[in-house]
A = this chain, B = another copy of it.
Amino acid sequence: RPSLPHRSMMITMSQNQSYWASVNSEIEAHLKQAIPLRPPLQVFEPMHHLVFAAPQNTAPALCLAACELVGGHRDQAMAAASALHLMHAASFTHEHLPLTDRPRPKSRPVIHHAYGPNIELLLGDAIIPFGFELLARSDDPAQNNSDRILRVTIEITRAMGSQGMVEGQYYELECPQSDGEELCDVGWIEQVCKKKEGGLHACGAACGAILGGGSEEEIEKLRRFGLYVGMIQGMLHGAGRKEKGLKEVVEELRNLALKELEEFKGRKVEAISSFVNV
C-alpha cells in the first residue's frame, strides 16, 4: 500500500472539492466492484439499483477523512465507509416503503419506486447484512486488524440499531409533527437529527479514526465532530429546514464542531473541516 505524506499536506478550498470528488468516487467504485451483477440476477440487479438510488450521504466520506486525519491511509477505512453507505441506503429504502398505515409526511418528497414494495422491503433486508459482510471480509491477517474491525462492527450496529438510527426514525413516526411541517419545532428536529444523521456521522468519524489508528482521545474528538456535522446536515436538508431559530442552532453546532478540530492543527484539517459547510 502506498503511504502518502498526510501530515504535511495543506489544501485550499478548491483542492477540497477535488478531495471530495475523489473520496466519493473511490467509495462508489469500491461498492460497484463489491456488488457485481452475479446470479441470482433478479435479486442482484435491484439490489445494485437501490444501493445507488439512495441520495449521497457524507458519513462515508467523513469516515475516510477521519482515517486520514489521524495518519491512516484511506484504504484502511474503505470497507467501513462502504458499509456505512449500505446502511444508509437500506434505511432510505425502508423509510420510503408505502406501508398501509403510514401517512406520508408532507415534507417528504415523493420518490420514484423502481420496484414493488415487497422487493424493496426484501432488498433492504439484504443490504444490511451485506454491509457487515464487506466489513468482516476486510479482515486482513497482514494488517492484524481483527480487533479494530470487530470494534467498528459494534460501532456500526449501535449507530443503526435501537439506540441510534432506529430510535430517530421512531421519534419521527411517533411524533404528530411528522405529518406536516407546520407542527415541527427546533427542539424536536434537533432530537431526530441527533439520532439519525448525527449518529451516522458520529459513527463514521469514530470508525475512520479507529481504523486509522487514532488514540482514544482522537476517536472521541472526531466522534463529537461527526455528531455536530451530521446534525447540521440533517437540520439544513431535512423536513424542518425553514423553521425559525434553526439557523442559530446550526451556527452554534458549526462552532462546536470546529472546536473539536483545534488540536489537530497542522494535519490534514482543512479537508475535514469543510464538512461543516456541506
Chain A contact residues, CB within 8 Å of chain B:
40, 42-44, 47, 90-91, 94, 97-102, 116-119, 121-126, 128-130, 132-133, 136-137, 139, 146-147, 149-151, 153-154, 156-158, 160-163, 165-167, 169-170, 173-174
Contacts and interface: CB of A to CB of B under 8 A. Distances in A.
A40 B40 CA distance: 39
A149 B161 CA distance: 20
B99 A162 contact: no
A41 B133 CA distance: 30
Contact of A161 (B100, B129, B151, B166): B129
A195 B174 CA distance: 36
Provide the main secondary structure of the chain A interface: helix
Contact of A150 (B118, B150, B154): B150
Contacts of A139: 147, 150
B98 A100 contact: yes
A160 B131 CA distance: 12
- Which 3 interchain pairs have the tightest Cβ spacing? A133-B157, A129-B157, A146-B146
A60 to B, nearest CB: 17
